[in-house]
Amino acid sequence: MLLTNEFKKMARDAAKKIKGAAKRAFMAQITGDYLEGSARKAKRELGWHRKTVEKGLKEQETGINCMDNYAAQGRNKIEEKLPNLEKDIRDLVEQDSQVDPKFKTSFRYMRMSAKAVRNALIRDKGYRDEQLPCRQTLGTLLNRLGYRLKKL
């Protein structure tokens, strides 16, 4: 069946507005009704990801919806990998930090850079270079801990 451009646009727009199992069910229904149940045709004609369409077709066939576990995706925080890192950073930074003089923020300002913190962790706390995150990630961690960095 030849799909019109208006139908393709409507199907793409509708698929963008729904999420998860409902989106896969919609894609499977369109694929089954108009594209002979072919995920490859759905990819070619509508630009949908083939694996998503295949999953929707399988869900439609079996009647069982797959559970999406988006929370388990991504990297773990460095604090989970190195549980003592937060304490070690606080030990190093606390003596060189100061509260905002005007008390406008709850952040503490540091007199050392993230690079200096990283070097001090290696030198004073016994961490190896390859097990510590990069300077930028340490800066993000310091911000999460409530410290603001001052460029030296």
pLDDT tens-digit map of 5-42: 999 999 999 999 999 999 999 999 999 999 999 999 99
Range of the domain at 135: 78-148
pLDDT of residue 151: 47
Mean pLDDT of 108-128: 84
Higher-confidence residue: 113 or 132? 132
For residues 85 and 133, membership in a common domain is answered with yes
For residues 88 and 34, membership in a common domain is answered with no
For residues 85 and 57, membership in a common domain is answered with no
Question: CA–CA separation, 130 vs 126, rounded Å?
Answer: 12
Mean pLDDT of 117-140: 90
Mean pLDDT (the chain) is 86
For residues 29 and 84, membership in a common domain is answered with no
For residues 84 and 56, membership in a common domain is answered with no
pLDDT at 96 over 70: no
Higher-confidence residue: 1 or 67? 67
For residues 98 and 54, membership in a common domain is answered with no
Q: Tell me the pTM.
A: 0.52
Question: CA–CA separation, 92 vs 95, rounded Å?
Answer: 7
Is 142 within a domain?
yes
Buried b / exposed e over 34-59, threshold 16 CB at 10 Å, is bbeebbebbbebbebeeebbbbbbeb
For residues 55 and 10, membership in a common domain is answered with yes
pLDDT at 70 over 70: yes
For residues 117 and 89, membership in a common domain is answered with yes
pLDDT at 90 over 90: no
For residues 39 and 82, membership in a common domain is answered with no
Which of 15, 31, 62 delimits the end of a domain?
A: 62
Is 120 within a domain?
yes
For residues 144 and 89, membership in a common domain is answered with yes
For residues 144 and 82, membership in a common domain is answered with yes
Token pair for 74: 């991504």
Mean pLDDT of 107-130: 84
